[in-house]
Amino acid sequence: MSVNESVIQGVGGSAFSLRGRDCLALSPFTPGEIQFLVDRGLEMKQRYRAGEAFRPLAGKTLAMIFDKPSTRTRVSFETGMTQLGGHALHLNRGELQLGRGESIGDTARVLSGYVDAIQIRTFSHETVTELADHASIPVINGLTDLHHPCQALADLLTLKEEKGELSGLRLAYVGDGNNVLHSLLEAAAATGIHLAAAFPEGYEPDPAVVRQARDTALRTGAVLSFTHDPLEAVEGADAVYTDVWASMGQEEEKKKRIRDFEGFQVNARLMSRARSDALFLHCLPAYRGLEVASEVIDGPRSVVFQQAENRLHAQKALLVELLA
């Protein structure tokens, strides 16, 4: 069986059908479905690198709603739809009737009659769930304050590409207990990764997300642990991950957060506690000299730009499975 045949057949020889589903977070997907999407993403990357024309979404349109600035999310989704033969529409809230008071439900119903799927990048996760509740087409969360599922799929793809088997891999996360960590917890729990997260007191992840991830981990053998000591989290890690200390919408807290996150910078000293071949990951944008030292992000163990590219391939896999 070829690589592509194996990927298309699915994990463990069983096929998965995700058509018509929403992707608001990773927890609604089974561990097998998430593994399948990661393998599908690797297939998409292989096809792209081989120059193979693959356009299963010809005639399909993705509406992309943005309430937050975006580089990777916008470019990867728009490019992905083009490469798959479809079309993407960039919609800023200020350009929609949403900006003049039309309800989210009405907007969802209208767009459902025009396009085949909606991707939205916004602040409140409730906005995305309300949109999905009223839409009759798939809704994809491009980022909210609670979850960043598309980033986590790209993270899994990168780790599998570099390290092979995901189950049993030791991943350390150092930083804020934010949307990126929430989706990483769900991704790690589904794939058997041992995730150790370190954050300052007062910056813990959402308890409901942690409970959900731990329930999944019981079925997959994943280990999820939490500490306020970054050195403890990084000890023996196969990969070290961080994110900005102040996300979009938290700029006014930046000075306080810099004080609170003292000692949480990923630098050479911290990386020395991980394995000698440990990778460095960051979802970007990065602020060199704050959450990560230049010597690490620009060093030979950094895969941050490979990780960024993999947003394209992971999202193409998601789009194909939801729409094709």
- Would you list the domain boundaries of the chain? 31-147+311-323, 151-308
- What band does 322 get if pLDDT is binned at 50, 70 and 90? very high
Active-site residue set: 121, 148, 151, 243, 283, 311
Q: How are the residues of the chain apportioned to helix, strand and coil, as percentages rounded to the nearest 5? A: 45, 15, 40
- What band does 259 get if pLDDT is binned at 50, 70 and 90? very high
Residue 211 pLDDT: 98
* Per-residue CA distances from 298 to 270, 273, 279, 292 (Å): 15, 18, 12, 10
The answer to whether 208 and 27 are in contact (CB under 8 A) is no
Asked whether the predicted pLDDT for residue 89 surpasses 90, the reply is yes
Query: Is 267 annotated in some ligand binding site?
Result: no
Domain 31-147+311-323 identical in fold to domain 151-308: yes
CA dist 162 and 19 (Å) reads 29
Q: Of 321, 318, 299, whose CA–CA distance to 152 is shortest?
A: 318
- What band does 251 get if pLDDT is binned at 50, 70 and 90? confident
Query: Is 214 annotated in some ligand binding site?
Result: no
The class that CATH gives domain 31-147+311-323 is alpha beta
What is the arithmetic mean of pLDDT over 47-57? 97
Q: Of 291, 288, 290, 266, whose CA–CA distance to 279 is shortest?
A: 266
Query: Is 23 annotated in some ligand binding site?
Result: no
CA dist 318 and 313 (Å) reads 9
Instruction: State the average pLDDT for the chain.
Output: 94
Does the model's pTM come out above 0.75? yes
What is the arithmetic mean of pLDDT over 162-169? 97
Q: How far apart are the first and last CA of the chain?
A: 23
Asked whether the predicted pLDDT for residue 220 surpasses 50, the reply is yes
Asked whether the predicted pLDDT for residue 10 surpasses 60, the reply is no
The answer to whether 209 and 26 are in contact (CB under 8 A) is no
Residue 99 pLDDT: 65
What is the arithmetic mean of pLDDT over 40-47? 98
The class that CATH gives domain 151-308 is alpha beta
Query: Is 149 annotated in some ligand binding site?
Result: yes
Minimum mean pLDDT range among 187-196, 246-255, 278-287: 246-255
